[in-house]
Structure 1
Amino acid sequence: MPEVRCAVNNCHFWGQGNFCQANAIVVQPDSKAYTNLNDESYYNAVLQGHEISSDVAASAETCCQTFRQKY
């Protein structure tokens, strides 16, 4: 897996030095995140290998769906 850096230290997968410790990273368009805030079907479909794709014009239009709040 490539090195993934993240500065969101209240994420369950955050590791020292800003390294993400997740086994997989799911990035989706913001438009999907806002319509599926309480529905993990998109996230789970991507992790299960279903081909789901969307076009975006800039990185600002994407979000990391992998985030899980650390308790």
Structure 2
Amino acid sequence: MRRLFFVLFLLVLPASAMAGNAVLKKDGKSYTLNCSNAGCFIAERVSFFKSGPQKRLGAGGAANFEKWMKKLKSDGYK
């Protein structure tokens, strides 16, 4: 029973800390938007497994993820 609780705890812990992830495209390049409790970051995707340097956009959280998605889409990201 303890093991089951521990496994469920490990599965729930990262999910609660992550507010959102999205892949956006602009001018033929792909960008990733990552928001967690630590903040919202955007980075250019170099390949499937690599990203360029991250630029911090602001505070994190689910509400800020929606705000940044809306702002970036209005700036021409798809």
TM-score by structure 1 length?
0.30
Q: Please identify which structure carries the higher strand content.
A: 2
Q: Please identify which structure carries the higher helix content.
A: 2
Larger Rg computed on CA atoms:
2
TM-score by structure 2 length?
0.29
If asked which structure has higher relative contact order (CA below 8 Å, sep 6+), I would say: 1
